[in-house]
Structure 1
């Protein structure tokens, strides 16, 4: 367990963290984390036997990697990620490429991650969200690509915290290159994600230059669909309606990495946040909002989303002032009722204005259907990047 931040009530902060999984690779915080370099491997485990039954195409092996990473505020942390290598041979030029797929985790419990699910039996605390997004993994493997599945919420399960997500994604790439340098040291990598996973893929592109400049030329593109770029706008949209459960889940998750938020939780919020709610997966957080719970019910201050502290937090999570150092592919459902299309388009125009090669696609459907309708063209873009073709720009 990490030490409580100086700004936090230690007992409350520990109380809102996810419960232990009873698997040390996910639970144990090495005492020497601060002496390790980001991406340095701490532990590895062959998880082929539990991963293979979840795949629709034969695999050669699956490996769970644990590695040093960095918290949202710069402290030593760790990450986990699962590397899946297909049985299908890679017949393209150069070494086998890697799709870094940020599956939407959207959860508070550590057992909800791809890493835990892939390394445990099918009936060991299953996350019913995960199978919905596995076809993208199967498709990549069938083409001979290796797939890397980072647990991008980090060990504190800080859902939607972009800094943590980027650090884990980038350190996962570092770890794979260190784990098998002969096989993946010269591979091309592309980061992809949708919805909650889009936050991770987008943040990876935005923080590459400052956090992992050594991966310049290694990560050669990032694709994000159904992406949140304006947290303040989305928070106000979610507040008090059918999406409110997601907003409350995200607020708790981010407070794990930014515990100064805990001082604004009232007694009701503290009771809920330290209850079994702190371990729910994404398939449960959405239904919590059916009754339209406004966030002020959980706060000890009025108009909490419009407070100076909220403005400070929204600014801390905002990456639109940064410039991607890799080509971007952004897509969004035309009728997405949750995440504004205008926000994604605005970010796209900003990146274009800064010289980033980028493509934007408006696809059919709302938020969930947009994932399906957007994938065919996205797949072609990914394949071209991993073949080393120059990235198109429609700016």
Structure 2
């Protein structure tokens, strides 16, 4: 056991290996080629003994890996609205409301601004693999009446959840109050407070989904869009004709960006309903960020992303060595965003937990990176893109390329660099982002800082 405890520290960064796992079925998957020292790790450390289990609903696995998949999921919260999978999901439409709960009493102290009502929504959504799933979100309505023209607009606050544990989600906090796993990022910067103070309703989606699939863009985009559908269905007299605009930073930016990119494909009836998306500190190139994070103090983020991806794509578990399996079933699987970053201080390379010599460079890794790449799509809404000028982890070139490509496709877009590195960029970019969102919610024309199109040749 002492060897295992030491190995857990060594393996923190190594869980990114999951991104390089085979995507084929059990019968088709080629065996990875480990280095001799990787083979030694598996000889020295036995695999955890787990009871055999049937394949998960989102993939076909042998019994031992199916058991591992169940063991790496977040522990249940104890609240059925977050834990229980509804029956008959396949017979429901995406965004269809399943149940709701009034959480005004526990949300009011966190809202600061007086509120009329807070509602926890549970609705049908679609997993990244295409199977039916469920999502949750909280709708907060201010006490002040809406006196401007039209119906009350809704600001969609895609918070940077960045977590593996279900109790780390914002809706759990709003349903249960401040608790041991409360995320400070739920409150700051004060997007929710600002929007409520402006008279807007605020919709806060738990965009990592029921398996807490942090950084899985399809999951995040689907849940944002389905939370809008569920809100309109819950109170059509108040929100069926409302404008919605979504904003997020870092992990939240993934959700905002994905919702904008998937709008036309997944929720075309929301065209004109979702009227804008802001995003800051956005990762658009997962491959580049994986290379940049490998073997340095940012490896804690890679840990949670890798494990989260394996929950949504269970075939990825095939590339974990025995050491990584012990880590994945440890209390790490329940960590929140406030503690994930410090997990990577050992700075060891990802190969330490792999059963293949080059996990990032495999063809299977390419498949994951391609799936997470939305750069060939056209967004369905105007964009506000901001990035910290000195962000050493997420290259600013990604936001510049996003702006240029969307401009070329005719999307009204603004891009701005703000002072600082990644964390400071969150604060420095906040005023500009909320000012832009305010304009979209007030139905002002979206500003466009795209370069003029080249003149047609005569």
TM-score interval, normalised by the smaller of the two chains: over 0.9
Once the two structures are superposed, residues 286-330 of structure 1 have per-residue CA deviations (whole angstroms, 9 ceiling, x without a partner) of: 001111132111211112111111111100111111110110000
Number of the residue aligned with 1:325 = 380
**Residue in 1 that maps onto 2:258:** 203
- How many angstroms apart in 1 are the aligned matches of 2:101 and 2:228? 17
Equivalent-residue separation in structure 2 for 1:79 and 1:124 (angstroms): 23
Cα distance in structure 1, aligned partners of 2:198 and 2:93: 33
The 8 Å contact of residues 274 and 381 in structure 2, kept in 1 or not, is answered as: yes
- CA RMSD of the aligned region, Å? 1.3
- 1:175 aligned to 2:230? yes
User: In structure 1, what is the equivalent of residue 400 of structure 2?
Assistant: 345
- Answer yes or no: is 1:18 the counterpart of 2:79: no
> Corresponding residue for 2:109?
53
Distance 1:129 1:136 in 2: 11
Equivalent in the alignment of 1:106: 162
Equivalences for 1:250-289 in 2 at 5 Å?
Answer: 250-289=305-344
The residue aligned with 1:88 is 144
Structure 1 residue aligned with 2:24: none
Q: How does 1:1-395 map to 2 (within 5 A)?
A: 3=57, 5-7=59-61, 9-123=65-179, 125-133=181-189, 135-395=190-450
Output one character per residue of 1:179-236: Cα deviation in whole Å (capped at 9) or x when no partner.
Answer: 0000000000001100000000000000000000111110011110010000000111
CA distance in 1, matches of 2:302, 2:179: 29
Cα shift readout 1:144-163 (whole Å, capped 9, x = no counterpart): 01000000000000000000
Contact 2:310 2:316 in 1 (8 A): yes
Shift of 1:61: 0.8
CA distance in 2, matches of 1:132, 1:218: 27
Provide the aligned length of Structure 1 versus Structure 2. 394
CA drift at 1:108: 0.2
The alpha carbon displacement at 1:89 in A equals 2.5
Structure-1 separation of matches of 2:350 and 2:265: 34
Check the 8 A contact 1:328/1:357 in 2, yes or no.
yes
Cα-to-partner distance string for 1:328-380 (whole Å, 9 max, x where unaligned): 00000111111110111111111111111100010111111111111212222
More contact order relative to length (CA 8 Å, sep ≥ 6):
2
Structure 1 distance, partners of 2:378, 2:439, is 22
Contact 1:336 1:366 in 2 (8 A): yes
Give TM-score, length-normalised by structure 1.
Answer: 0.97
Measured in 2, the distance between the counterparts of 1:122 and 1:245 equals 25
- Could you tell me whether the CA contact under 8 Å between 1:93 and 1:387 is conserved in 2? no
- The structure with the larger Rg is 2
What does the per-residue CA deviation read over 1:115-174, in whole Å, with 9 as the maximum and x for residues that have no partner? 1011003235423442334x1110110000100000000000000000000000000000
Q: Are 1:191 and 1:222, in contact at CA under 8 Å, matched by a contact in 2?
A: yes
Question: For residues 92 and 62 of structure 1, what CA distance do their matches in structure 2 show?
Answer: 22
Q: Tell me, which stretches of 5 or more residues in structure 1 are unaligned? A: none
Deviations 1:11-38 (A, max 9, x none): 1111111110010000000121111111
CA contact (8 A) 1:296 1:302 kept: yes
Give me the whole-angstrom Cα distance separating, in 1, the residues matched to 2:128 and 2:344.
Answer: 27
| Distance in 2 between residues matched to 1:248 and 1:35, nearest whole Å | 36
Contact 2:156 2:246 in 1 (8 A): yes
